[in-house]
Amino acid sequence: MRRRMGYEPLFPQELIDRILLPVGTLPPSAPPAPPVLTLPAVPAIADGSSSAPPASPALTLPAVPTIAGGHRRAVTGAGALPPTAPAAPVDADSVKRSVFPNRLYDVARVRAAVRSHLEQTFQDSNFLFQRNRAQQSMAHWAAVNGQTDVFNALAGPLAQGDIPSAMKEPLRRILLMPESVSSQNTPAHVAGLHGRLDILRLYANESFHISEALLSRDRQGNTPAHLWVIGGNSVDVLRHMADEMGAGPVHPLRLSLAAARNAAGLSPAQMGVQRLRAPDVRAAAAGAGAGAGAAAAAGPSL
């Protein structure tokens, strides 16, 4: 009747539905609308295009002053770094010896380990076959430090005929195996490079059956005699040693001195000749000869 007369109901139908809902029932709510990001309008310029956004402030660095010739002068002041000191000259001998740190072996322990290995009691015998990360064995370290007693302890049993070859072979492997595939340096190479004549004498002794190490090659094709000359030693010393030992022409030491060629096609004897032809070596030899002649002319001193 009220609708017919043009009146609206006093309460909206939605409010009536809320009032008449059962207790504990909530009406379904619509999901919230996502926020709308409103960006400010970019002002337009006269030709209708939009102006570019403002540029970020630029970092301004002080100009480096230049000197005559166009070279830049070093920055000085509180923020300047101290000048770098020139690099010290590299000592070839220190580099050569830094590959093997100074490590000395207890000779008594080495002898006891060798005895344990030969008697097959294997007490501390694994100590003989240990290698470091560079595959350097006990013989490599002993060659650097000139521990001839260690070599005698390892090579001595090789000259004894009553020891089975199966027990000798591990000891030979210590004395003959190279340190790594990359260098192929055997303990004999290390002894030659560091001028260990007594150790090379043990290798040249054929009774130990390790003289083939004198013909072994490193990565550059050098034998221990080549490295002996590279280390600054005279090749005549090896010749005298071969003469003293009565080594024949087919002895590995003789062959390595005369016939062994490295990657450069040179034998140790040829390398020794080239070294004597160097100006500094000739001057040193002439000075040594003059000093010896003057001492001989002066006669013995009282």
In the chain, how many domains are there? Answer: 1
Q: Taking the CA atoms of the chain, what radius of gyration do you get in angstroms?
A: 44
* Domain of 145, in residue numbers: 95-284
Q: Report yes or no: 251 and 211 within 8 Å, Cβ to Cβ.
A: yes
Stretch 50-73: mean pLDDT: 54
Give the pLDDT score at 292: 37
Asked if residue 240 belongs to a domain, the reply is yes
Burial class of 216 by CB neighbour count within 10 A (0 to 12, 13 to 18, 19+): buried
Residue 224 lies in a domain: yes
Residue 6's pLDDT is: 54
> In 3D, which of 163, 243, 157 has the Cα closest to residue 204?
243
Identify the band that residue 302 occupies on the pLDDT scale cut at 50, 70 and 90. very low
d(CA 250, CA 253): 8
**Residues sharing a CB contact under 8 Å with residue 61, sequence separation 6 or more, in sequence order:** none
Domain assignment of residue 129, yes or no: yes
| 212-232 pLDDT tens trace | 999 999 999 999 999 999 999
Whole-number Å distance between alpha carbons of 104 and 94: 18
301 has pLDDT over 50:
no
Looking at the predicted structure, is the pLDDT value of residue 102 above 80?
no
Residue 49 resides in a domain? no
In angstroms, rounded to a whole number, what is the distance separating the alpha carbons of residues 154 and 9? 118
The answer to whether residue 63 is domain-embedded is no
235 within some domain: yes
In a domain, 24, yes or no: no
pLDDT surpasses 80 at 171: yes
Collapse the DSSP code of 50 into the 3-class scheme (helix H, G, I; strand E, B; otherwise coil) and give the result. strand
CA nearest to 176, candidates 284, 238, 104, 252: 252
Residue 101: which CATH number? 1.25.40.20
* pLDDT score recorded for residue 152: 94
Q: What is the pLDDT of residue 293?
A: 40
Q: What are phi and psi of 180, to 5 degrees?
A: -160, 165
Model confidence over 254-276: pLDDT tens digits?
999 988 999 999 999 999 888 87
Is residue 47 in a domain? no
**What is the pLDDT, as a whole number, of residue 261?**
93
